[in-house]
Structure 1
């Protein structure tokens, strides 16, 4: 069997107790093969000390490395499944007759991009605060999303970013808020671009595409910031009402702009 780190043939490979992969003697330890579950290999004393440091100094970010920012093949698979489900929903959201196949395909790509940016923003901000974060497809959420492809009522919840560790409420709120924030920013930029293209008398399909992307991102930001259930809004509101309003107000404004224009 080959070592999954260096490819060396091993008659009796070592199996990592954390990730389950097989490695040679040189790479048998979790830290030697960049185990994605390295955090589980820390001693309880070390984990407790890390959490206490996080509570006492929440503004201090962990030093990032190329390993911590890496997306594993397993996570890439989960992201791909989520992206395909989102693409399926997006394909039924857009007016193919009005956009045409090229612009409709561009709209679906933009929709999937918005989803991926949202989820990866959660992941990388959590990593920036010293926590392992991995996107995982939710079987129930994926099923509901798949059903909504054929349903007039659309739900986009194929999965979520799981954070390993015990972040304090401030960090948890920051991680939650950054996802909808990416949609707010995309919506703001595409609304400005769409209105600018309208003023310049640009190609109508390009204008429709741009404004459609803006409206969908406004809806994603607004919906995710609602303070209910597992949504990001409740996590932010639980930490600070003013912080929640700071994020929710522009999302609501963009949602109303999209609704009335």
Structure 2
């Protein structure tokens, strides 16, 4: 529970202003509605603060370059349009980038075969100095379209499973730490997880390659685990358990395969999973010590009035 700085109302899921850092209820979440100190820093002779929620408000007589470009696009770029789902919702933006990257993987393989695909997207012990793959490998996933691919490499469920985890848990974390910090958490944890996998395999003298956002997804799980370890989740949508059990099970399985097998046993990057989860746990502990909030006892998903357009993080119809 947190108290709105304006009206004192107790809120289970408060809004934190990105401009002044205050805590507010839904009625006072906009900068215009809580006398945001950021209003004084906005160079607007009319005193109107463009919060990004009202498309009719302009900060100056001259529209920004971005606004000019957006106005010429053949579709609605406002909060009621298709892009409304992505405004203020970094989770959806990252998910879209993952699937667009999958399309780019298919194109690269069609043009240059496996060699070009691995050069552009795969972080491995064979090419650790290809620094661009440190990032591209986070958004890329198992190339199931490659002829002859077997096991996890040949399964579309890799990207589907990661998308499900990020879709359900991402908005919950993003709401509390903000879109910018959420994007940083996602990319940094994904990169470090991939480097950790390759580094561990190199130390053991084993070849290994990394693709996918599993490390970033598990970092998100780690954050939620620390903030509310008793949050009830459903493994494979069937088996109910507290999220701390899921996290502990992931650590145990990853450690078991690393110790008894290898970091990449079964075609799965167990080292990356472990590193990503540990990063999330550490960051969650930092948030718990420095910020006064808790996640709810269950995840609410569905239509509703979350920030950034219809369907964003907000009120839901039923628990996941």
| TM-score, normalised relative to structure 2 | 0.28
| TM-score, normalised relative to structure 1 | 0.32
Report the structure, 1 or 2, having the larger helix content: 1
